[in-house]
Amino acid sequence: MIQKFTLTVNGKSHTVNADPDMPLLYALRNELGLNNPHFGCGLAQCGACTVHLDGQPARSCITTMSAVGDAKITTLAGLGAPDKPHPIQTAYIEEQVPQCGYCINGWLMTAAAFLRDKKKPTEAEIKDALSGLKCRCGTHISILKAVKRAAEVMG
Ligand code: FES
Ligand code: FES
């Protein structure tokens, strides 16, 4: 049965009518036009759909509307702005990481939360934190460099 949900996304309140079992990803992309989170696998296996719920990375492809509750949602669009990018966004540009770009959302959202909580991480800790993400273009070496660069800035 369709229900009315109030979502707080990037500091703004939105009303969405949806099935309680519908993935949050569909509401963000199809109802609100927030297209940074991507549909990759739909099975919580790639991370392309990652958003923050109350600051914690969550895979929006398997997060149902009813599971969101009152959590504040942040998408990549809320992480940084072109005139004030997040350090991980700046590092991605400086290291020239992107290839096709499909996976970027997941890496940036996951790394941003990790670097916020973990200062001066080791390489092993970075790899562990990002181990659940996939990039079919094989940019992993560049990603690691970018996260290290951002870690220095955020340390
Ligand atoms: S689309 Fe959500 S983890 Fe792959
Ligand atoms: S840059 Fe293409 S999938 Fe990662």
- Closest ligand 1 atom to 44 CA: 3
pLDDT of residue 19: 98
User: Which residue in the block uniquely carries the two structure tokens 């504040």?
Assistant: 72
Cα of 26 vs centre of ligand 2, distance in Å, is 21
Whose C-alpha lies nearest to ligand 2, atom 4? 135
pLDDT of residue 41: 98
pLDDT of residue 32: 98
pLDDT in tens, 67-125: 999 999 999 999 998 999 999 999 999 999 989 999 999 999 999 999 999 999 999 99
Cα of 75 vs centre of ligand 2, distance in Å, is 18
pLDDT of residue 68: 98
Q: What is the mean pLDDT of the chain?
A: 97
Q: Residue 66: which residues within 8 A CB-CB, separation 6 or more?
A: 3, 20, 21
Distance CA 148, CA 7 (A): 33
Residue from 49, 95, 100 to probe ligand 2 pocket by mutation (most atoms less than 8 Å from CB): 100
- Please tell me the number of the ligand nearest to residue 133's CA: 1
User: Which residue in the block uniquely carries the two structure tokens 């309680």?
Assistant: 20
pLDDT of residue 117: 98
pLDDT in tens, 136-155: 999 999 999 999 999 999 98
Distance CA 140, CA 78 (A): 24
Neighbours of 35 (CB within 10 A): 13
What is the rounded average pLDDT of the residues 9-34? 98
Numbers of helices and strands, H then E, in the chain = 7, 5
Distances (CA, A) of 10 to 52, 55, 72, 147: 10, 11, 8, 23
What is the rounded average pLDDT of the residues 33-60? 98
Fill in the amino acid letter for 14.
H
Fill in the amino acid letter for 31.
E
pLDDT of residue 125: 98
pLDDT of residue 47: 98
pLDDT in tens, 50-62: 999 999 999 999 9
User: Which residue in the block uniquely carries the two structure tokens 């992107």?
Assistant: 98
Q: Please name the residue ranges forming H helices in the chain.
A: 24-26, 65-68, 76-79, 87-94, 104-117, 123-129, 140-154
